[in-house]
Amino acid sequence: MLQSIVFQTTPGLSSILKRHPRMSSYVFRESWCLLVPSCVWRNPLIIVCALVLMFILPASAGDWPAYRRDARRTAVSTDQVEFPLAVAWHRRSKLPPRPAFPDPVKHPTKIDFAYVRDGAEPVLVDFDHAYHPVAARGRVYFGSSADDSVRCLSLASGEQQWAFVTGGPVRFAPQVVSDHVYVGSDDGFVYCLTAADGNVVWKFRAAPSERQLVGNGRMISRWPLRSGVLVLDGTVYVTAGMWPAEGVFIYALDAATGEVQWVNDTSGTLNQSSNAYAISGVAPTGYLLAGKEALVVPTGRSVPATYSREDGRLLASTAPSYQNRRGGPAVCIDRHDSVIFGYTRERLSAKDYSVHYVYRLPNLTQYGTIRADRVVTDDRSFVTTNDLIRCYDANPMYRKVKVDWQQPCPSRNVRCLSLSSNALLMGIDDRVVARDRKTGDVLWEQDGLDGYVQSIAVADERLLVATDRGSVYCFAKGGRTGTPARPGIAAHDSGRAGVPVLQVAHPELQKALKDSQVSRGLAIVIGKRDTKLASEIAAATQLQVVLLLDDTEAVIQARRKLLDTHSADAGQVSV
């Protein structure tokens, strides 16, 4: 005989319940019905343990609630994905990403960068070249560097559930914890939103003042949040500022209230020595990571810095130097509590490949090296080089290596790696490839995506794939078959002096635009509650139009009104 319990909880115990031969569970929207045999019902210890587990598990095994899934940025999921897959849905944002720093390989000036090796400049600040999706409880979330929004989609259908607009570009993926979504913006604020409807629970200005400037083609805070947010053990970690001379702030906030637990405001100016004595500081740029004791803050070209998670003390920092080759974006923290970082896509010669460094936390003791272009590590390490994909077992210092398998690599442009329980997932140019973790054999691949694949997430046995054109694909068992549709790509301005001025309703504005011959740059509209004037200027030019209002509610309404009115080949309005 079966008894039942129905209650609200996270879906985190579903996989555990399914493994129990004498229990069954069913989900109805966000409620769980647990069917328990009478013999189990009479044992209160089992029931208590089941209830405790349901309430303490923050996310199900099928969730991918943060960039590269967790605080260590492992990009490893315990989900087993059944292949082949097909497109369940495809969403392409109206505006493509507007990264803060363009890919140097595509630099229009063909400049001879200092670190170019055989024509390939390492991409060290590519954190916002795509809208990296995260997923939890049947919903998908991503931020936009183009329209300053955070959007929530249905994982099942791709339909938009809600959108929230901040005051600046959202360059980093949000993080989902329980019923809340946390996100940082270039406007200098951290936002905590409700996961179900996007309402503001709290927001915190991490920037020390409201001062703004023109940065990366946008109006942003003088202290932008260029490391996203990281939530761990009830604490939100965030940084504000990227220019040490202006001040750099490292925060730990209470996840429930946004109250400051500690702040480090002294690491922007440090007396350090590299090849020469210098006064420099930490310049946060890139996704935060967290180990057992240390918060890891990437710094672009330089070696990451570490801070104590307990009180914010600076534990280790290396002065930036153009002669110091040991730097680059942080990839992940491995199971030995070492941070792996390096110059991706850098070739030291025509036949060689990049070097990733392994530094032991918390004090950044050099521990080993990994010669590879891309790295993802779990119980085994998976790396790519110019011509090989290799799986091996290694000691903590990555010196004694036992190769399990290796296969030819079809392209030098492997842009991302992730792992499911049964597959190595690879983003290669415009395709996604799944290889068997044990043998390296190809299980499935899909090409013809509408841009370079920049990230792959695993959620509820589905794949979420993001490209640099602003697309998010969802691949699932039993989805639509065939090659994904490739919608037309809007032509981007290639540096021409101007664009034709369109007809606008205001004769004076039409004359001013014609006389000034200004079509690119910044325009400011002050005090107009109606967004029409700002919208006309943006539509007629490629100007970034800033609408300044003095009423909070009017700002919110204007942002919502303008959210879906932008065009990829015209300017846009921020409020």
- Determine the distance from the C-alpha atom of residue 268 to the mean position of all C-alpha atoms in its chain, rounded to a whole number: 24
The pLDDT value recorded for residue 551 is 86
* Over residues 399-403, mean pLDDT: 90
Predicted confidence (pLDDT) at residue 521 exceeds the cutoff of 60? yes
Q: Which of 212-221, 480-489, 558-567 has the highest mean pLDDT?
A: 212-221
Mean pLDDT for all residues in the chain: 82
The pLDDT value recorded for residue 45 is 53
pLDDT tens digits along 332-382: 999 999 999 987 655 545 555 678 999 999 999 989 999 888 999 999 999
pLDDT tens digits along 98-126: 998 876 555 444 444 444 444 445 556 77
| Burial of residue 67, with CB atoms counted within 10 A of its CB: 0-12 exposed, 13-18 middle, 19 or more buried | buried
Looking at per-residue confidence, does 494 or 465 come out higher? 465
* Over residues 471-489, mean pLDDT: 70
Distances (CA, A) of 226 to 212, 288, 310: 15, 10, 22
Q: How many C-beta neighbours within 10 Å does residue 39 have?
A: 10
Nearest to 559 by CA among 222, 168, 102, 40: 168
The pLDDT value recorded for residue 118 is 45
The three-point CA angle 455-456-457 to 5° equals 125
**Domain boundaries along the sequence of the chain:** 2-56, 86-476, 507-574
pLDDT tens digits along 546-555: 999 988 888 9
In single-letter form, the type of residue at position 236 comes to V
Residue 523: its H or E element: strand 520-526
Q: Which residue has the tokens 């942003």?
A: 220
Share of the chain above pLDDT 90, in %: 53
Residues 206 and 190: beta-carbon distance below 8 Å: yes
| Burial of residue 351, with CB atoms counted within 10 A of its CB: 0-12 exposed, 13-18 middle, 19 or more buried | exposed
Q: At what angle do helices 507-516 and 532-540 cross, to 10 degrees?
A: 40
Predicted confidence (pLDDT) at residue 305 exceeds the cutoff of 80? yes
* Over residues 261-272, mean pLDDT: 87
| Burial of residue 82, with CB atoms counted within 10 A of its CB: 0-12 exposed, 13-18 middle, 19 or more buried | middle
Predicted confidence (pLDDT) at residue 48 exceeds the cutoff of 60? no
Q: For residue 575, give both structure tokens.
A: 């409020």
Q: Alpha-carbon Rg of the chain, whole angstroms?
A: 24
The pLDDT value recorded for residue 540 is 83
The pLDDT value recorded for residue 562 is 87
Predicted confidence (pLDDT) at residue 60 exceeds the cutoff of 70? no
Predicted confidence (pLDDT) at residue 28 exceeds the cutoff of 70? no
Give the domain 86-476 fold: Methylamine Dehydrogenase; Chain H (2.130.10)
pLDDT band at 321 (very low <50, low <70, confident <90, very high): low
Predicted confidence (pLDDT) at residue 234 exceeds the cutoff of 90? yes
Choose the weakest-confidence range: 44-58, 151-165, 235-249, 538-552. Answer: 44-58
pLDDT band at 485 (very low <50, low <70, confident <90, very high): low
pLDDT band at 447 (very low <50, low <70, confident <90, very high): very high
